[in-house]
Structure 1
Amino acid sequence: MDRNYPRIPAATGLIAISGVAAFTLTWLADIAILLQGSAPFGAPTNWLPVFVTGPLIAVITLGVPRSAGLVARVVGAVTISLGLTAWCLIDAAELQWWGALETCGLLYLVVRATAAPWRPARAVACTLVLAVTVLVLPLRIGSWDAFVGGGYVMTVALAICVAVGCAIRSQEARRERAVHDVRQTERLALARDLHDLIAHHMSGIIVQANAALTIQATAPEKVEPILRTIAGSGSDTLESMRRLVRVLREDNHPALRPGDLLTELGDLVSAHSSAGDALARLEVTAAARTTPIGPEVDVSVERLVQEALTNVRRHAAGARATVRLDADGDWLRVTVTNTAPPHKVGVPAGGRGGFGLLGLRERVEALDGSFGAGPLPHGGWQVEAAIPLSVPTEVSASGR
Structure 2
Amino acid sequence: MSSASTPPDQDPRPPAAEPDRRGVTLQRATAGVREGLGRAGAFLSTPAGRTEPLLARAPKRWMRLLPLITALAFVVTLIPVTTQVLTNDYGVSGGLAGALGVAQAAPLLLAVSRPLAAWCIMIAADVLGAIVTLSMSNDRPAPWTAMIIVGYVVVCLLLSLRESRLTLLGIWLVTVVVSLVLGAFRDDGSQDTSVLLIVLSGVALLLGALLRERGDAQRRLIEQETISEAERAQRTLLEERARIARELHDVVAHHMSVITVQADSAPYRLDGLPDAAREEFGSIAASARESLTEMRRLLAVLRSEDTPGERAPQPGLSRLPHLVEATVRAGVPIDLSRPELSVLTQLADVTPAVDLSAYRIVQEALSNVMRHAPGARTTITVTLDEAHLLILVVNGPPTEAPDSLEHSGTGHGLVGMRERVRLVGGTVDAGPLPDGGFRVAAQLPSSRRNPAPHDHPRDHRR
Structure 1 pair 380–9 and aligned structure 2 pair: CA distance change class (3 A): closer
Aligned to 1:266: 321
Q: Which one-letter code corresponds to 1:86 in the other structure?
A: A
Task: Report deviation, 1:337.
Answer: 0.7
- Corresponding residue of 1:66: none
Deviation at 1:210, TM superposition (A): 2.1
Shift of 1:377: 1.0
- Given the superposition, is the C-alpha separation of residues 218 and 379 from structure 1 closer, same or farther in structure 2, using an over 3 Å criterion? same
C-alpha separation in 1, matches of 2:206 and 2:354: 63
Q: Secondary structure at the match of 2:442?
A: strand
- TM-score where L is the length of structure 1: 0.59
Letter paired with 1:43: V
AA at the equivalent of 2:318: T
**Residue equivalent to 1:115:** none
| Distance (whole Å) between structure 1 residues aligned to residue 450 and residue 257 of structure 2 | 22
Matching of residue 385 in structure 1 with residue 435 in structure 2: no
Task: Name the structure 2 match of 1:181.
Answer: 235
How far off its partner does 1:199 sit? 0.9
Query: Paired residue for 1:86, among 110, 117, 138?
Result: 117
1:250 to 300, 303, 312: 303
Between the aligned partners of 1:308 and 1:176, the Cα distance in structure 2 is 24
Residue pair 1:277, 1:318 contacting (<8 A) in 2 also: yes
Classify 1:346/1:194 alpha carbon distance in 2 versus 1 (closer, same or farther; 3 Å).
closer
- Whether the 8 Å CA contact 2:336–2:379 is kept in 1: the answer is yes
Question: Which has the higher Rg, Structure 1 or Structure 2?
Answer: 2
TM-score where L is the length of structure 2 = 0.53
Say how many residue pairs are matched.
320
Task: Please name the residue that 2:102 is paired with.
Answer: 43
| Equivalent in the alignment of 1:315 | 372
1:305-325 CA-partner distances (Å, limit 9, x unpaired)? 111112112222221111223
User: By how many angstroms is 1:268 displaced?
Assistant: 1.8
By relative contact order (CA 8 Å, sep 6+), the higher-ranking structure is 2
Match of 1:168 in 2: 222
Q: Tell me the secondary structure at the aligned position of residue 382 of structure 2.
A: strand
Change (3 A) 1:311 1:35: same
Q: Residue 380 of structure 2 aligns to a residue in which SS?
A: strand
Relative to structure 1, the CA distance from residue 271 to residue 138 in structure 2 (aligned partners, 3 Å threshold; closer, same or farther) is same
Secondary structure, counterpart of 2:80 in structure 1: coil
Q: Please give the secondary structure, in 2, of the residue aligned with 1:309.
A: helix
Q: 2:419 aligns with which of 363, 368, 390?
A: 363
Aligned counterpart, 1:278: 333
Query: Are the counterparts in 2 of residues 40 and 46 from structure 1 also a CA contact under 8 Å?
Result: no
C-alpha separation between the residues in 1 aligned to 2:167 and 2:343?
70
Distance in 1 of aligned mates of 2:151 and 2:380:
64
Q: Are 1:98 and 1:137, in contact at CA under 8 Å, matched by a contact in 2?
A: no
Deviations 1:124-152 (A, max 9, x none): xxxxxx65599679979x94647655443
> Cα RMSD (Å) of the superposition?
5.3
CA distance in 2, matches of 1:218, 1:296: 37
Structure 1 residues 217, 270: CA separation in 2 closer, same or farther (over 3 Å shift)?
Answer: same
Rounded to whole Å, the distance in 1 between the matches of 2:119 and 2:334 is: 73
* Counterpart among 183, 196, 202 of residue 250 in structure 2: 196
Q: Does 1:353 align with 2:406?
A: no
What's the CA shift for 1:189?
Answer: 0.9
The answer to whether the 8 A contact 2:376-2:395 is kept is yes
Kindly state the Cα deviation for residue 204 of structure 1 after the two structures are TM-superposed: 0.9
Q: Tell me the residue number matched to 1:299.
A: 356
Does the C-alpha gap of structure 1 residues 53 and 282 become closer, same or farther in structure 2, counting only changes over 3 Å? farther
Cα distance in 2 for partners of 1:288, 1:29 equals 73
Deviation at 1:329, TM superposition (A): 6.6
Which shifted more, 281-290 or 164-173? 281-290
Offset, 1:155: 3.0
Structure 2 CA distance for aligned equivalents of residues 179 and 155 of structure 1: 36
Question: Is the Cα contact below 8 Å between 2:382 and 2:391 reproduced in 1?
Answer: yes
Determine what percentage of the aligned residue pairs are the same residue: 25
Residues 135 and 248 of structure 1, relative CA distance in 2, 3 Å threshold: farther
Deviations 1:221-253 (A, max 9, x none): xx9xxx9xx9xxx9xx9xxx9xxx999512635
Which residue identity lines up with residue 212 of structure 2 in the other structure?
L
Q: Measure the CA separation in 1 of the matches of 2:352 and 2:121.
A: 77
CA contact (8 A) 2:156 2:204 kept: no
- Aligned counterparts, 1:65-214, within 5 A: 81-82=113-114, 85-86=116-117, 89-90=120-121, 92-94=124-126, 96-97=150-151, 131=163, 143=175, 145=198, 150-214=204-268
- Is the 1:191–1:247 contact (alpha carbons within 8 Å) kept by the matching residues of 2? no
Deviation at 1:25, TM superposition (A): 12
1:290 pairs with 2:346: yes
Q: Assess if the C-alpha contact under 8 Å between 1:337 and 1:381 holds in 2.
A: yes
- CA pair 203-380 structure 1, distance change in 2 beyond 3 A: same
Structure 2 gaps of 5+ residues are 1-6, 12-27, 41-57, 83-100, 127-147, 177-197, 455-462
CA contact (8 A) 2:317 2:356 kept: no
Residues of 1 paired with 2:208 and 2:220: CA distance? 18
